[in-house]
Structures are given as structure tokens and as C-alpha cells.
Amino acid sequence: MILVNKPFLPPLPIYQSYLEGIWKRQWLTNMGPLANDLELRLKDFLKVNHLLFVTNGTVAIQMAIKALDLTGEIITTPFSFIATTSCIVWENCKPVFVDIDKNSLNIDADKIEVSITEKTSAILATHVYGNPCDVEKIERIAKKYNLKVIYDAAHAFGVEINGRSIFDYGDISTCSLHATKLYHSTEGGLLITKDPNLLKKLAYIRNFGFDGPENFAELGINGKNSEFHAAMGLANLKYIDSIHQKRKELTLRYDEKLKNLKAVRPIWHSNSENNYSYYPIIFESEAFMLKCIEQLNAHEIFTRRYFYPSLANSLHYLEKQELEITDNIARRVLCLPLYYDLTLEEVDLIARHLLRIQNN
């Protein structure tokens, strides 16, 4: 059986060495020494100034919206995981969907301005599959209309533009460290901002708003993470270079073997290197894609329609909206298996099946 994803796990003795320290200290949560150490190491690795380790990527987006005091309308993408939209609704704001660019699959920055109204407070854009948005154009629009910018960078761990971390853009960037991600802490998320005052506010929000044992500086939630999750994050960080290299090797093998498949790959940002989070392909037709899914499943090879359906026309709690490019792409895009333990031989097998289906 070949699954679409499997989490990377470090050697058990490495993780156990962290557990021994947890047992000795009996400090399990509330930002213990491992959680603090992870924050410092990730700041260095990602080359950012301010970073918080939180419960998960969804809570990170909710905290970002709350910390920026957003109200009214938030412009966003319909081609993302549901958390991007549900967090907006959860925080009593209205998502305003803008269609995507057919090449990058990110929100089309050229279409944002026409959706801005007097109620617009922010832009929440997703770096889809880790591929950077047009951050320069979005920044110019945000400055022109005095809008805040949040980036859902759940897939973008380690991505840079011209040597600068993708997390360095916008007012706040969020990241997911869920077990399905290329780098994970089992469950977890990150908040990154350049603004030290905003960081302080987010830190208060993460811990119920506490400012000392009897004082409260902000309206807060429990957004902290545990020492067990921090231990996994620290252990996995030791292997991030080999994880990246293996996923790159697998991706290049797919590229080679599938060059004659009637499908295309999203076009990556010209000033950025792929972090190989996913291997999405866009088929010529939905019918061909569905045939591939059915026959791959019959051979116990599992894929994922990620993202499908469009968030703009599939959520019962929002008015449905048809967006031509998003609807078209969402019907035809498929993510193939990609994870550390996948072998080149398995990639070859998947490619052979796809080409055989095409040629029959």
C-alpha cells in the first residue's frame, strides 16, 4: 500500500532522550524549556526575528485575526484548506473570495483591488503548496488601502524569496507543524511577525491574556503547546536537510517519469526554490483524473484531491460563489504520494500506472 502521505519520524532513541528530560523536570506544558528552545532554534533556522510556537496552524490564524483587531471583510482565496476560511468566519468576519492565478494557483493579486470595499480590513492569502504569492504586489495594495496582511504559510516551511524568509512578509505569517507537513511537531503551529509589539500581544493571547499571576493584558485563549510536541519538533529539526533533499529527489523523479503525462505542474515563483511539500498535478480533464484515481486505488495507491471542492461554493454557512479559474482547477488537480519513506521505485510504479491508464 502506498499512502498519499506519511509523517517523518526521527530515530526513537533521539525522541526518547528528550522524554527522559521531561520525566525528570515534570514540566509538561505552559511553555517549558523544550518549547522555548524550539522557538529559538526555529528563529535561527528560518532567519526571522520573532516567532511563537502554538497549538496548531488553525489556532495561529485565529490568533492573528484577533491580534490585528480585524472586523468586517477579509479578502482571501477559495483554493486553500478549509481552516483559512473557517477562521475568518469563526472570528466574526466575512470572507470575500478572489479567484486564483491559473499558473501559481495562488490568489490573483491583479484581481484583489476590485473586491476592496469600505468594509475591507485585511487580505488573508495562502502560499499554496508552499509556492509564494505575489507578496510585493499584495504589499503595495495593502499600503494603498491601509489593509493588514496575513499569510497562511501552512505549506511554506523553509521557503525563501531572494534569500529572505517567506514568513517575513505581511503583518503576520502562520505555519502548520501538523504531522502531514514536511517538518512537523506532531501537532503545532507558528506565528511570525516583524513587529515586536504585535509579538507581545500574540504572546499574551496565547496564554489566556495573562500578564502576571493576577493580571490580564489581552483577551486570550489557550494557544500553548506541550513539551512532548516540542520534543518532536526538536528531534525532527535535526533531519530537516535530509528530509528536504529526499523530497527533492522524489520530485525530480516524478518530473522525469511523468513528462509525457497529459497533465501540468503549477508554476513556482521565479525568485524562490520549491520546498517540495507536495506533488500536485493538473490533469487535462476531470474525467481522466477520476479514472486515474479509481485505478490507482485498485492497486492500493492513494492520492488526494487537494484542494477540492472550491471553498467559495461548497460551504453551507456561506453564500455560494462561482469563480471560473478556481472551479476549473479544483476539479482537475491531484496530489500524488510524497513523503520521506517513499522510494524511487515506488515513484516509478506510480508513474507507470498513470501512463498506462493514459495510453489505454
Mean pLDDT of 142-148: 98
Amino acid at 340: Y
Environment class of 43 (CB within 10 Å of its CB; exposed 0-12, middle 13-18, buried 19+):
middle
pTM confidence score: 0.97
Cα dihedral sign for 178, 181, 184, 189?
Answer: negative
Amino acid at 250: L
Backbone angles phi, psi at 309, to 5 degrees: -80, 180
For the chain, what are the domain ranges?
Answer: 12-98+106-237, 240-359
Residue 225, CA atoms < 13 Å, CB-side half-sphere: 33
Class of domain 12-98+106-237: alpha beta
Going by C-beta distance under 8 Å and a sequence separation of 6 or more, which residues neighbour residue 192? Answer: 46, 48, 50, 51, 52, 165, 167, 168, 172, 173, 174, 175
Other CB atoms within a 10 A radius of the CB of residue 162 amount to 6
Nearest to 258 by CA among 354, 151, 172, 346: 354
pLDDT in tens, 179-230: 999 999 999 999 999 999 999 999 999 999 999 888 999 999 999 999 999 9
Question: What is the Cα–Cα distance from 26 to 356, expressed in whole angstroms?
Answer: 57
pLDDT in tens, 252-311: 999 999 999 999 999 999 999 999 999 999 999 999 999 999 999 999 999 999 999 999
Considering the four listed CATH numbers 3.90.1150.10, 3.30.465.10, 3.90.1720.10, 1.20.1250.20, the one that applies to the domain covering 240-359 is: 3.90.1150.10
Q: Are 33 and 18 in contact (CB under 8 A)?
A: no
DSSP string, 195-260: -HHHHHHHHHHHBTTBSSSS-B-S---B----HHHHHHHHHHHTTHHHHHHHHHHHHHHHHHHTTT
Count of positions (residues) in the chain: 360
**At residue 360, does pLDDT exceed 90?**
no
